A and B are shown apart, each in its own frame.
Chain A
């Protein structure tokens, strides 16, 4: 049983397109996160939701919009994709979002051409 799953695993698309990445966790956690990992392996938080409420919204372009339909799901929609959006996007979850252990999904490798 995969604790944190993401779909798709790979995403290759043209500049200007709109795409979505989905994340689901079956750990019963209250908090979920989206991270972006660039080519130099820097991992930067983008968003965090706690019980469907947005609690972290880092300096991210408005083209990125997270949505949490319930506390087990956190999706990321990206409008008007740009070359610089190419990266690996990781979803993660934690029990209560208080700086404790986070559980990561396998990542979605996005390549914008």
Chain B
């Protein structure tokens, strides 16, 4: 079963604006990951945040984690056309540490 749920399912913004996507999950985790999938491509890892971290940055990406609310957010600042993609959060599986469970994804469109 799914662990993470992204919100919104789809987001369309103007180039240059910031994009925020949220992920909620159900059980305790030791880390949470965000991945990007461009149309017709495989997933690419963006960032991993551990349960003892509250915020992490990578370039124009900022990820927050609130373990008390079981939620995470991905902020992309100064969006570009190339940011158009689907974004997925992923958390470790409950039954097996060997697997990660992906959320349903947010489809981000950047309008020129």
- A and B physically associate: yes
Contact call B97/A98, Cβ cutoff below 8 A: yes
The answer, yes or no, to whether B110 is at the interface (CB within 8 Å) is no
Which residues of B82-104 are within 8 A (CB) of A? 86, 88, 92-93, 96-102, 104
> Interface extent on B, as a size class?
20 to 34
A105 CA to B41 CA in the complex, in Å?
8
A99's partner among B43, B99, B104, B105 (CB-CB below 8 A) is B99
Considering the complex, give the chain A residue whose CB is closest to the CB of B31.
Answer: A99
Asked if B78 is at the interface of the complex by the 8 Å CB criterion, the answer is no
Cα distance, A40 to B9, chains bound together (Å): 11
Using Cβ atoms and an 8 Å threshold, which residues of chain B touch A106?
41-42
Total A-B contacts with CB atoms under 8 angstroms apart = 63
Q: Is B42 a contact of A48 with CB atoms below 8 Å?
A: no
Contact A43 to B41, CB < 8 A, known contacts A97-B98, A99-B31, A99-B97: no
> In the assembled complex, which residues on chain A have CB atoms less than 8 Å from the CB atom of B33?
101
Q: Are A42 and B104 in contact (CB under 8 A)?
A: yes
Given contacts A41-B86, A105-B42, contact A98 B98 (CB under 8 A): yes
Give the Cβ gap from B63 to chain A, nearest Cβ, in Å.
14
Distance in Å from the Cβ of B12 to the closest Cβ of chain A? 17
The answer to whether A43 touches B96 (Cβ under 8 A) is no
Residue of A nearest to B45 (CB): A101
Q: Report B's interface with A, CB cutoff 8 A.
A: 2, 30-31, 33, 37, 40-45, 48, 86, 88, 92-93, 96-102, 104-105, 107
